[in-house]
Structure 1
Amino acid sequence: MKIAFNEATTLKNSTLKLDLELCEKHGYDLIEIRLDKLREYLIDHTVEELKEFLEGHRIKPYAFNALEFITFRDQEGYEQLKSDLRFLCEVGEVIDCKTIIAVPTFDIGDYTKTKIKEETVRVLHELAQLAEPYGVRIALEFCGYPNCSVNTFAQAYDIVREVNRHNVGIVLDCFHFHAMNSHIDDLRAADPTKIFVFHMDDCEDLPAGALRDHHRVWPGDGAIDLEQILRTLKDIGYDEMVSIELFRPEYWEWDAEKTIQVAKEKTEKLVNRYFKIERV
């Protein structure tokens, strides 16, 4: 299992350049690059400079995070979405980053589950077709909030199966899995090759439907049965990567190096119980 860092964990106290340097220093294998941090980096640097750094260091890019609110867009918004996708595919081609996370839309009104599925399947087909010439995969991330159009593992996995494309899969985020009471039996029945990204996090002990990003805490410090999830992933044969992703404002107040170091220590402590941690 390779250990990755998601830049949301240092959203307010670091940059892509600093995240890369500190993740390299503390022995991460992979990084998930945020779109906003990438755009900020490119104000003063080039994609070629990013490529040069990555080629000279162990840490490698794994995914871009994220294309947001991909469904129920107006025409202008949908064209912007496709433009962002092409931008990430082009950067990914240079730095060898071949996965893009896609987030469904929130607060869509009174659309039925059937209509949500139809729309999400349609959009994923189109995005995957645009990404395919670049060898890029699209990973659908359900979000465990009542107002998200796709908010459970089972709903997202059903959509991915309906799309039935080799370059469309799912993001398993422990926080989102827990937040709307996704069922471990659904994960147990999943094809591990369709899990493109695995996010590790924990949270405070709030009821289903009440949790929000700021309730996330370090893995092992909260209410999620992370060991059950890890054990299930091992049982079904998933062992590709695990990425620490938190959005807790308290941690954004820390020094970025402390955040990155603690994130790795907390993640490895749990993952080591079930998986051999590999190096790229």
Structure 2
Amino acid sequence: LMAMAERYAKLLEIGESIGVIPQIEMWGGHPVIGRISTAVSIAIECGHPKACFLGDVYHTYKGGCAFEGLNLLGPQALQVFHLNDYPADPPRETINDSHRVYPGDGIAPIAEIMQGWLKIGATPVLSLEVFNRDYWKQDAKQVARTGLEKMKSAVKKALG
């Protein structure tokens, strides 16, 4: 992990020089960086003041992480969050990226996740991330419109 933290620190320095902030994202199921705790450890250990964690509904579920763990982070750590959802089937062990669905079309505790952000003062930018092959068959603009509608609906449902 320390080698990853050192590499991430170097990426942050390069990013800073060109006006971007690289973020550490966990990939649920990955043998090294498959949990929130691992990704956040890398961010902490890199020692850079702009280090942050890129959250993702699907990856949090796939990694077997407690969504409540996100509430231990703060606004600095949660600047962007990939918003998506997942169905009840297939189970966590066999689900993959292609099963992601629009926010609100699955069983993820999206409202609770967003309400947790309020408790810690985080207001991350939401980024729709779905790799559903059925969506690939549709018009890209329509998928984007539907995704935006579903994201707005999820925010309204969670935060009023």
**TM-score, normalised with respect to structure 2:** 0.91
The percentage of counterpart residues that share the same residue type is 25
User: In the alignment, what sits opposite 1:237?
Assistant: 121
Counterpart code for 1:178: Y
Q: 1:25-174 residue pairs with structure 2 within 5 A? A: 117-145=1-29, 147-174=30-57
Deviation at 1:132, TM superposition (A): 2.2
Distance apart, 1:209 and its partner CA: 3.2
Contact 1:144 1:179 in 2 (8 A): yes
Task: Identify the residue that residue 71 of structure 1 maps to in structure 2.
Answer: none
The Cα RMSD (Å) is: 1.6
* Separation in 1, partners of 2:19, 2:145: 32
- Secondary structure at the counterpart of residue 171 of structure 1: strand
Q: CA deviation at 1:188?
A: 1.1
Superimposed CA distance per residue, residues 182-201 of structure 1 (whole angstroms, 9 cap, x where no aligned partner): 12332111122111311100
**Alignment of structure 1 residues 256-275 onto 2, 5 Å:** 256-275=140-159
Instruction: Give the structure 2 partner of residue 47 of structure 1.
Output: none
Equivalent residues, number: 159
Give yes or no for the alignment of 1:255 onto 2:139. Answer: yes
Paired residue for 2:66?
A: 183
Structure 1 residue ranges without an equivalent (≥5): 1-116
**Take 2:145 and 2:24, find their aligned partners in 1: how far apart are those partners?**
28
Q: Rate the CA distance shift 1:266–1:212 in 2: closer, same or farther, 3 A.
A: same
Offset of residue 125 of structure 1: 1.5
| Partner SS for 1:193 | coil
**Is the Cα contact below 8 Å between 1:144 and 1:209 reproduced in 2?**
no
C-alpha deviation, 1:265, in angstroms: 0.9
Q: For the Cα contact (< 8 Å) 1:217–1:248, is it kept in 2?
A: yes
TM-fit CA distance, 1:172: 0.5
Helix, strand or coil: the match of 2:52? strand
Q: Deviations over 1:67-92 (max 9, x none)?
A: xxxxxxxxxxxxxxxxxxxxxxxxxx
Cα contact 1:218–1:266 (8 A) shared by 2: yes
Answer with 128-137 or 170-179: which moved more.
128-137
After TM superposition, give the deviation of residue 248 of structure 1 in Å. 0.5
Amino acid of the residue matched to residue 81 of structure 2? F
Measured in 2, the distance between the counterparts of 1:163 and 1:186 equals 20
- In the alignment, structure 2 segments of 5+ residues that lack a partner are none
Q: Is the 8 A contact 1:234 1:274 kept in 2?
A: no
Could you tell me how far apart the structure 1 residues matched to 2:146 and 2:86 are? 16
Shift of 1:119: 2.2
- Tell me which amino acid in the other structure corresponds to 1:231: Q
Does residue 195 in structure 1 map to residue 61 in structure 2? Answer: no
| Structure of higher RCO (CA pairs closer than 8 Å, 6+ residues apart) | 1
Conservation of the 8 A alpha-carbon contact between 2:55 and 2:81 = yes
Q: What's the offset of the Cα at 1:153?
A: 1.1
CA distance in 2, matches of 1:157, 1:192: 13
| Aligned partner of residue 157 in structure 2, secondary structure | coil
Is the 2:78–2:123 Cα contact (8 Å) retained in structure 1? no
Q: 1:248 to 1:221 in 2, by over 3 A?
A: same
